[in-house]
Amino acid sequence: MSHPLIHAAGHVCAAIDASVYADSVTRLAAWAAQRTGAPLDLLHVIDRNPEAATAAAVDFSGNLALGARELLLEELTRLDEQRGKLAQKQGRALLERAAACAREAGSEPREQRLLHGSLVETLTGIEPEVRLFVIGKRGEHADFAKGHLGGNLERVVRAVHRPVLVAAREFRPIRHVMIAFDGSPTTRRCVEMVAASPLFESLQLSLLLVGAASSENSAHLDWAERTLQQAGLAPRCLRLEGNVEEVIARRVREDSVDLLVMGAYGHSRIRQLIIGSATTTMLRTCLVPVLLLR
């Protein structure tokens, strides 16, 4: 079965919100759409504020007389309707801004979609028609001061089976791509996808394996280099020793890498960093977009 980034079906879906990541998400999605020749769709999901819903659901029956309780419920209903209208107005404005941003980046959006529901349920619902999801590293409610990632990010990557391209705060042109590789089946599929996808044609390419000098690791690197060269790419393959996340973050920084490609699931040390109990280390430390593949 061909990989979603390789076959021609499906569109690039940019999921935007009111965070500072919206422009970066849009520009990164426009770049991916241009490189793959896929249509670009812009999506904003209106999700009811859990705190507002909780407040509206409070039972005041033990404290208020009948008439006062009815008046309060009517007022809460009006406020809820107003919040809904404001959310729709804001959503349309966000989509219009994103459409203008995409056009500036050279990509005309095919569709602007304003949907209601949870982000995760919405994305899993439209997944069959999507080639690539693009989402911000943090949402509008994330705690930037503490460096926390958006809660939706982990849930989305766990839920969907399509590739997820995680945008950094600022967009910059993608010229140098690095693959985090460990020889596992998932990262081998990453190499095969990079070799076959138009997303990476003519870009500078590095492949990094963090591990000890061994015949096994040498064989992994030889296979990866051969696979990429057969596709007409000219990778620089590196093997370095040290702490996995520290080495990757340092090489991304020192080598001016613009995009990191990693496997999102599995049992190896590299992929446990992304989804699992030690969540988000690489996403927090690498200030570049990360393409997560299953």
9 pLDDT above the threshold of 80: no
Q: List, in order, residues 6 or more apart from 79 with CB less than 8 Å away.
A: 56
Specify burial of residue 217 (Cβ count, 10 A radius: 0-12, 13-18, 19+).
middle
How far apart CA 28 and CA 154 sit, in angstroms, is 19
Tell me: do 183 and 285 sit in the same domain. yes
Tell me: do 161 and 277 sit in the same domain. no
76 pLDDT above the threshold of 60: yes
Could you tell me if residue 2 is inside a domain?
no
Could you tell me if residue 246 is inside a domain?
yes
How far apart CA 203 and CA 49 sit, in angstroms, is 42
The CATH number of the domain holding residue 269 is 3.40.50.620
Task: Lowest mean pLDDT of 57-61, 161-165, 179-183, 189-193, name the range.
Answer: 57-61
Task: Lowest mean pLDDT of 67-71, 91-95, 185-189, 276-280, name the range.
Answer: 276-280
Q: How confident is residue 155, by pLDDT bands cut at 50, 70 and 90? A: confident
Which is higher by pLDDT, 270 or 230? Answer: 230
What is the predicted pLDDT for the residue at 64? 59
What is the predicted pLDDT for the residue at 246? 87
pTM, two decimals, is: 0.84
Tell me: do 103 and 182 sit in the same domain. no
Tell me: do 35 and 129 sit in the same domain. yes
Task: Lowest mean pLDDT of 49-58, 93-102, 167-176, 260-269, name the range.
Answer: 49-58
Could you tell me if residue 253 is inside a domain?
yes
The rounded percent of the chain whose pLDDT value lies above 90 is 60
Tell me: do 151 and 257 sit in the same domain. no
Tell me: do 144 and 205 sit in the same domain. no
Tell me: do 160 and 186 sit in the same domain. no
Mean pLDDT of 173-202: 93
Could you tell me if residue 64 is inside a domain?
no
Mean pLDDT of 30-49: 92
End position of a domain, from candidates 148, 167, 186:
167
Tell me: do 17 and 160 sit in the same domain. yes
Give the phi and the psi of residue 207 in degrees, each rounded to 5.
-130, 130
DSSP secondary-structure letter at 105?
Answer: T
Q: How confident is residue 3, by pLDDT bands cut at 50, 70 and 90? A: low
What is the predicted pLDDT for the residue at 275? 46
Give the phi and the psi of residue 235 in degrees, each rounded to 5.
-75, 150
Q: How confident is residue 130, by pLDDT bands cut at 50, 70 and 90? A: very high
Tell me: do 182 and 251 sit in the same domain. yes
271 pLDDT above the threshold of 80: no
End position of a domain, from candidates 131, 147, 167:
167
- Containing structural domain, residue 92: 11-49+87-167
Q: What is the mean pLDDT of the chain?
A: 84
What is the predicted pLDDT for the residue at 4? 61
What is the predicted pLDDT for the residue at 147? 44
The rounded percent of the chain whose pLDDT value lies above 70 is 81
Domains of the chain: total: 2
Q: State the greatest distance between any 2 C-alpha atoms of the chain, in Å, as a whole number.
A: 81
What is the predicted pLDDT for the residue at 119? 93
Which H or E run includes 29? helix 22-36
How far apart CA 97 and CA 93 sit, in angstroms, is 6
Tell me: do 181 and 270 sit in the same domain. yes
Half-sphere exposure of 193 (CA within 13 A, CB side): 27
Tell me: do 130 and 193 sit in the same domain. no
Tell me: do 211 and 263 sit in the same domain. yes
Mean pLDDT of 239-265: 90
What is the predicted pLDDT for the residue at 101? 97
164 pLDDT above the threshold of 50: yes
